[in-house]
Structures are given as structure tokens and as C-alpha cells.
Amino acid sequence: MWYNGDIELNCIALTVHLIENGGETVEERERAFYVASEVGKLKRVMLHRPGRELERLTIDNKDELLFDDILWVEEAQKEHDAFADLLRDNGVEVVYFRNSFAQVLRDETIRSQVLDDTLAMEALDVPLGQALKRELMDFTPSDLADVLISGLTKAEAVALIGPCRSLVLDVLDPMAFLFRPLPNLYFQRDPHVFIKDGVIISVMNFQARRREPLYARYIYENHPYFKDLKILFGDNKNDAIPYNVEGGDVLVLSDDVVAIGISQRTTAGAVQILGRRLAQRVGVHTLLAVDIPKTRSYMHLDTVFTMVDRDAFTIFPGVSEAIRIWKLVYDDEGELLSLTESHDIGASFREALHLDAVRFIETGGGDPVAAARDQWNDGTNTLSIAPGNVVTYRRNVVSNRVLRENGIKVLEVRGAELGRGRGGPRCMSMPLLRDH
């Protein structure tokens, strides 16, 4: 079963243990969320099962919506369900974004604010916006979540509100969107990322994904399950373009070290603000800023570099020469104590992780053609579910073999359709709870 309906999250027991503490019995709740590692045993993850939003893709809009092809939706759903089942079979609890969103939409005030924010992001005229809002307010929370995710065309809007005197409506084709679909939502890694007991709500680089973090923020600010969560970025009006940051660029290496890519999607300015906030709010004092080429095929750091074991990373060799890396160290107040460029990636990671050595396992096993093919199909985008145990797409035959030859346990999932959106198992999952 992939879909647990509206009860999910409410019924994830926040287990209450009664523990003895100096003779006194106190309650301790099991943590609902905490991430201080890239590879510690994965316990809970947020996913989004791709839905009707993918049926909106056409050859004309796919580029703007950040896709390279038109997906066979049913097949993508089957692949995604198999991915979720594999995680469950390995002891990971799966929480669905859509359900959490539907739960916060039960509250009428929140429904109204979400609709105001959604409509304000599109240039609609006021009477049209108001007419739409009136209708959408009457949707069930679950239906409203679906419409907000799958978008609304002019034809659908007209069917909903009836005739409306509006220039905006008149100029649009029937199939044009009044608000856009969110087909990239199944890449859950990007709009939000947990670091310890905090979350970065991303500022997305492209218009096509800007409503994803907006809806995530409503969940984090209102869902009782996320009570006491610290918001690290994205909750004030200055955390906005051009201070972009996307979750695919963030690697939580330990409870004191985070690596962030400077990429097509994340700017150095945002990285520096984040460095200060991470030190002040969640006690992460070291930040490794990793500058990578700014192109679509390497859109995020996790497309060229992921951690597969406590001392091992997989890396796309095509960029290793181009990578530049800086270490930023902060004090508890968020003062920047030092900023140093390093010319040796291995040494930076070894030192930051307090290890004697780190291993780099090359995508494609040193063959440049296999490496480029596998990187494009997310062969470097591995999801660790335990130290030395990763989930990858089956299609990356060479890279999977090389990982195994290096002692990594590889669990494969089909990604023939899912991969056409340019994201792999890591992009599709957002860890909420991991062991250290």
C-alpha cells in the first residue's frame, strides 16, 4: 500500500518513554526528526508519489518545467511505489508530503492563506483570483492539496467558476495554466532539508519550483508533528532570490560539519548566511563550500558527489578537476573565524570528518564514457540507508558494479521513467530521522 490517507503522521506514534532521571520519572519523547549524518541508519523519510502533475508535461512546456522528457505516469508511479516499498522493507518509515500538506489544509485560516499566496504568485486579476479562491475554499483538504500540486488550467478554472469578465482569462489558451503544476515535487530533497533539529526551507532558483518550499513552510509552521522544529532559512522575507539554496546541494556530513554546493541552484551568498545560522541555531561550526560547474547536468552537488559510507564518497570524475572547496569555521555566535581555500578535496574531507583516510569511488569506474552516461542517469546520486549500504537506479550498471567492488552494498530500483526528470534515489527522498 502506498497511500495511507489522511491519518498518516497523526498515527506515527511519538513514542513516550518513561525514564528514570536522578530518581525522578520523566517523559522522553522519541525524536520525530533529527539528521546529523549522510549515512547513519535511515529511520524516517519524506517522499512524494508522483501524480497528476506529471500528466501536465508536454513537449512544449517540459523545458520550463525542468524535465527532459515526457514520462509514462503509471509506470513512474509503479517505480516510485517499489522505491518506497524497498525503503519500508529496510526499516524506513515513509511519510508522504502530500498527506502532511492535506492535513494542514484542514484549517480554514491556513487554506485561505495558502490560496492567497498561491494566487499572488501568478499575475491574475483580482476578481478572477477572488472567484477562484471562493470555489477552492470549498474543496476538501485532500482535493485542494491535489489541485495545488497538479496546477489549474484556464479550461478547468472556467469549468469551476463559470463565465468571468477577465482580460487574463481572455488572452490565455484553454490549456494554459492559471497556476502551474509542480511536477518536480517528487524530488523531495530539494525544497527542504533537515539538519539536526532544524530545517532549511529552500529558495528555489527556477520559477517552476518556487511553490514547493512555500507549501513545505506551511507544513513546518503548522503541523503539530513538527512542533519545536527550528527553521534555519526561508522563513523571512530577506531569505529570497538571489539568496538561492536548494536541498540537493546540502550534505550533512556530521553533527558539526555540513557541505554545501555552490551550483546552478545555490549561491555563495546564501551559503555564507547559512554558515552563520547553522552555527547559531544548531551548533554546526564547520561548513565546506564546494564550488561545482553551473550546468543542468550537474545542477546540484548531489548529482556529482554523494557519501556512501562513513569514510567513502562516490564522485563523478568529470568534475573533480573543476571542483573548488573552502572551509568556513564559525563560533557559537555565528562569527566567521576562518575562511580557507583547500586544493585537496581528500584532505578537506578527511580533516573535517576526523578520519585517517577517505575513499573516493568514481562513477563509471574510471571509464569516461560510462561515467558520463551514468552521471546523466543519476549514477552518482546514491541514497545511503545505512553505512556502506545505498539505493541506486538499476540502469547504472557500471557504477553499481564499481560500488560493489569497493565493498558497498547496493540495493537497486528501476528508474526508467523516474530518471527522465533528472534525479535519482537521493533526490527523491528527504530524510527526517537518521541515526548518527
Ligand X SMILES: NC(=[NH2+])NCCC[C@H](N)C(=O)O
What amino acid is encoded at 202 in this protein?
S
Binders of ligand X among residues 50 to 69 (CB under 6 A) are 66
Q: Read off the DSSP letter of residue 41.
A: P
Where residue 22 falls (left for φ over 0; alpha for ψ -120 to 50; beta otherwise) is left
Show contacts of 53-57: CB within 8 Å, 24+ apart. 53/149, 53/150, 53/151, 53/181, 53/182, 53/183, 53/185, 54/183, 55/150, 56/150, 56/151, 56/177, 56/181, 56/183, 57/183
d(CA 286, CA 211) in angstroms, rounded, equals 31
d(CA 27, CA 11) in angstroms, rounded, equals 19
**423 forms part of the interface with ligand X (CB under 6 A):** yes
Helix axes of 154-161 and 126-137: crossing angle, nearest 10 degrees: 70
Q: Per the residue annotation, which of 32, 178, 427, 432 is the catalytic one? A: 427
427 is catalytic: yes
Residue 8 or 53 having the CB closest to ligand X: 53
Stretch that binds ligand X, among 1-9, 269-277, 304-312, 422-430 (CB under 6 A): 422-430
Q: Which residue from 348, 359, 357, 344 is spatially nearest to 308, judged by alpha carbons? A: 359
**300 forms part of the interface with ligand X (CB under 6 A):** yes
Stretch that binds ligand X, among 72-80, 162-170, 185-193, 355-363 (CB under 6 A): 185-193
**184 forms part of the interface with ligand X (CB under 6 A):** yes
Q: Least distance from C-beta 137 to ligand X, angstroms?
A: 31
CB of 87 closer than 8 Å to CB of 75: no
The answer to whether the Cα torsion of 69, 73, 78, 82 is positive or negative is positive
User: Which of 187, 305, 316, 326 touches ligand X by CB under 6 A?
Assistant: 187
Per the DSSP assignment, residues forming a β-bridge with 19 are: 26
**212 forms part of the interface with ligand X (CB under 6 A):** no
Q: Is 41 exposed, middle or buried (0-12, 13-18, 19+ CB in 10 A)?
A: middle
d(CA 250, CA 426) in angstroms, rounded, equals 11
**38 forms part of the interface with ligand X (CB under 6 A):** no
**79 forms part of the interface with ligand X (CB under 6 A):** no
What amino acid is encoded at 8 in this protein?
E
CB of 298 closer than 8 Å to CB of 340: no
**421 forms part of the interface with ligand X (CB under 6 A):** yes
Residue 42 or 427 having the CB closest to ligand X: 427
Binders of ligand X among residues 334 to 363 (CB under 6 A) are none
Q: At 386, phi and psi to the nearest 5?
A: -170, 165
Residue 8 or 249 having the CB closest to ligand X: 249
Nearest position to ligand X, beta carbon: 248
Residue 248 or 317 having the CB closest to ligand X: 248
Residue 216 or 299 having the CB closest to ligand X: 299
Q: Which residue from 107, 100, 302 is spatially nearest to 217, judged by alpha carbons? A: 100
User: Which of 216, 427, 432, 433 touches ligand X by CB under 6 A?
Assistant: 427
User: Which of 62, 285, 422, 434 touches ligand X by CB under 6 A?
Assistant: 422
**302 forms part of the interface with ligand X (CB under 6 A):** yes
Q: Least distance from C-beta 249 to ligand X, angstroms?
A: 8
Residue 111 or 180 having the CB closest to ligand X: 180
**309 forms part of the interface with ligand X (CB under 6 A):** no
Q: Least distance from C-beta 390 to ligand X, angstroms?
A: 15
Residue 50 or 248 having the CB closest to ligand X: 248
Neighbours of 334 (CB within 10 A): 15
Stretch that binds ligand X, among 82-90, 231-239, 251-259, 420-428 (CB under 6 A): 420-428
**211 forms part of the interface with ligand X (CB under 6 A):** no
Q: Least distance from C-beta 81 to ligand X, angstroms?
A: 20
Q: Least distance from C-beta 378 to ligand X, angstroms?
A: 8
Q: Read off the DSSP letter of residue 171.
A: H
Residue 169 or 292 having the CB closest to ligand X: 292
**CA angle, residues 287, 293, 294, in degrees to nearest 5:** 100
Stretch that binds ligand X, among 35-43, 89-97, 181-189, 321-329 (CB under 6 A): 181-189
3-state SS, residue 353: coil
Count of chain residues binding ligand X (CB under 6 A): 15
Question: Which positions are catalytic?
Answer: 427
Q: Would you tell me which residues interact with ligand X (CB under 6 A)?
A: 66, 184, 187, 189-190, 209, 248, 299-300, 302-303, 421-423, 427
